[in-house]
Chain A
Amino acid sequence: MSKNTVSDRFRKVDVDEYDENKFVDEEEGGENQLGPDEAEVDSLIRQGNLMGALQAVLKNPPINTKNQNVKDRAEGLVLKVLSSFKSTDIEKGVQSLDKNGVDLLMKYIYKGFEQPSENNSAVLLQWHEKALSAGGVGCIVRVLTARKTV
């Protein structure tokens, strides 16, 4: 066989990168987004002020940043708050959020679904049910259509 059929490295080339007509999202500066304040949220959880912790953890979502660590940290913090709620309080927690808050919460919930673990799946599903009744299917559609997400 001739030599140039030996290597199949060409199969790993991402041809879409070289497409001139490729749709590029507009860049928006996200370097300053640090995600929710860990100290503030932790202290609110310790005080037992779970509603306050929920509001605090949904502040400053790291939507525009490209830093994966910031995003992971934010997700971890959100999961911590969601898990510390009692099942019966989840509905009240969701009611305390405004429209944008419910949308953001749904984004974090789906992010959590991406990495299922023993602890968080059940909790996430309970939150998902309540957030769905508050935000409707439109809320889930917005998670799917968002170009930049948490």
Chain B
Amino acid sequence: MSLYSFGLEPLSCHAWNKDRTQIAISPNSNVVHIYQKQGKEWTKIHELTEHSGRITGIDWAPESNRIVTCASDRNAYVWTLKDGVWKPTLVLVRINRAATCVKWSPLENKFALGSGAKLISVCYFEKENDWWLSKHIKKPINSTVLSLDWHPNNILLAAGSADLHCRIFSTYIKDIEDKPGPTPWGSKMPFGEVLLEYKECGGWVHSVCFSPSGDALAWVSHNSAISVANATQGKEVTQLTTGHLPLLSMLYVSETEIVAAGHDCCPYQFSYKGPGCLEFVKKVDIPKQSSKGNMSAMQHFRNLDKKATTEEEETGLGSLHQNSITQLCILEGPKAKVEKFSSVGLDGAMVVWDFKH
């Protein structure tokens, strides 16, 4: 476990490059900073300034080394590294509200963008005209799309939205890819087809994540619950309500173990073994041991003088992060056996966590 503070500003989002030596972050502004790891420190090497609104999503494609960013200015840019400089290319996403989240597909030939315009924009590169085109998925989304995740087959896309629904769509674009084979979620997959629509999420769906095989979909919602839908068991949904504050981001660290974090400022581990078997395992954060040693009389009076109290008041939280965690990201290990993951939060810190299987 290690913590690095990138300043006082909250970190809205982050993304890693392929070998994890560089991190792209946005400090709650319209700029993306890219930092390079140097020993234990991080030094800023690039600043991506093209957006005019607050950056809401960053994703870094590991193989093709392209970064896609989206912001509240209703735009998305794809950045490519040319001669050591990141050059932006505007993508016509054709939305009339802020973009909220963006994710490259597993094969990196397209990306999906969620927005407040109640639609998802699936964008792909058209070689003939040398620009990015977008196709919209509108029905039956009724409110802002808050989170997206791709299925390993590069076609299915899960979307959590503020209309309290969690859905899986097909994003099959016949111009650029072959027809997908059937999956446990369904076999007919024209563009925009809804393969799962779950309406009793109980709250805004903040984060969705497919399991490594793609056969299960988990999400966290604002009613402090985590749910899993299992395609191999008739798309049955198991929901676990927790006694914690709502979770904002989640990751699968193996086929059955899930890590989620949110307003409680520390990651929690959950385990899903089958329908009806979703349970809380433990807190991933080890709380700071507060040293309530014997205070000398001198310290007593000093405290009384300075703070008008003799109690040793802890003003910080017991967890590593001092404010809500906004995003989790896999750092090391394949999706099926994650060894390390990173978290960024509103406290401006980035923490690297180890996961023992």
Contacts and interface: CB of A to CB of B under 8 A. Distances in A.
A145 B241 contact: no
Contacts of A141: 222-224, 245-246
B164 A147 contact: yes
Contacts of B299: none
A138 B245 contact: yes
A146 B223 contact: yes
A139 B242 CA distance: 8
Interface string B130-159: 000000000000110000000000000000
A26 interface: yes
Size class of B's contact patch?
Answer: 10 to 19
Contacts of B164: 147
Nearest to B222: A145
A103 to B, nearest CB: 7
Given A23-B143, A23-B163, A145-B222, A136 B242 contact: yes
Nearest to A25: B164
Contacts of B245: 137-138, 141
B243 interface: yes
A135 interface: yes
Contacts of A136: 242-244
B244 A142 contact: no
A146 B202 contact: yes
B199 interface: yes
A99 interface: yes
B53 interface: no
Contacts of A146: 202, 223
B214 interface: no
Given A103-B241, A136-B244, A145 B203 contact: yes
B243 A139 contact: yes
Contacts of B199: 26
A142 B221 CA distance: 10
Nearest to A99: B241
A138 B142 contact: no
A145 B223 contact: yes
A21 to B, nearest CB: 8
A135 B203 CA distance: 18
Interface string B85-120: 000000000000000000000000000000000100
Size class of A's contact patch?
Answer: 10 to 19
A11 to B, nearest CB: 28
**Contact residues of B: prevailing secondary structure:** loop
A136 B245 CA distance: 9
Interface string A43-76: 0000000000000000000000000000000000
**Contact residues of A: prevailing secondary structure:** helix
A58 B118 CA distance: 38
A147 B163 CA distance: 11
Contacts of A99: 241
Contact of B244 (A21, A137, A145): A137
Nearest to A142: B223
Nearest to A137: B245
Interface string A107-150: 00000000000000000000000000001111101100111000
Contacts of A147: 164
B251 to A, nearest CB: 20
Contacts of A26: 199
A74 B241 CA distance: 25
A49 B274 CA distance: 39
A107 B245 CA distance: 17
Contacts of A145: 202-203, 222-223
A135 B223 CA distance: 13
Contacts of B202: 142, 145-146
A87 B222 CA distance: 33
Contacts of B142: 23
A23 to B, nearest CB: 6
B149 to A, nearest CB: 22
A23 B144 CA distance: 11
A23 B118 CA distance: 11
Nearest to B245: A137
A74 B164 CA distance: 27
A147 B142 CA distance: 15
A23 B202 CA distance: 15
B74 to A, nearest CB: 17
11 contacts: A21-B118, A135-B243, A136-B242, A137-B224, A138-B246, A141-B223, A141-B224, A142-B224, A142-B225, A145-B202, A147-B164
Interface of B: 118, 142-143, 163-164, 199, 202-203, 222-225, 241-246
Those 4 A-B pairs whose CB atoms lie nearest each other, nearest first: A136-B243, A138-B224, A138-B243, A145-B203
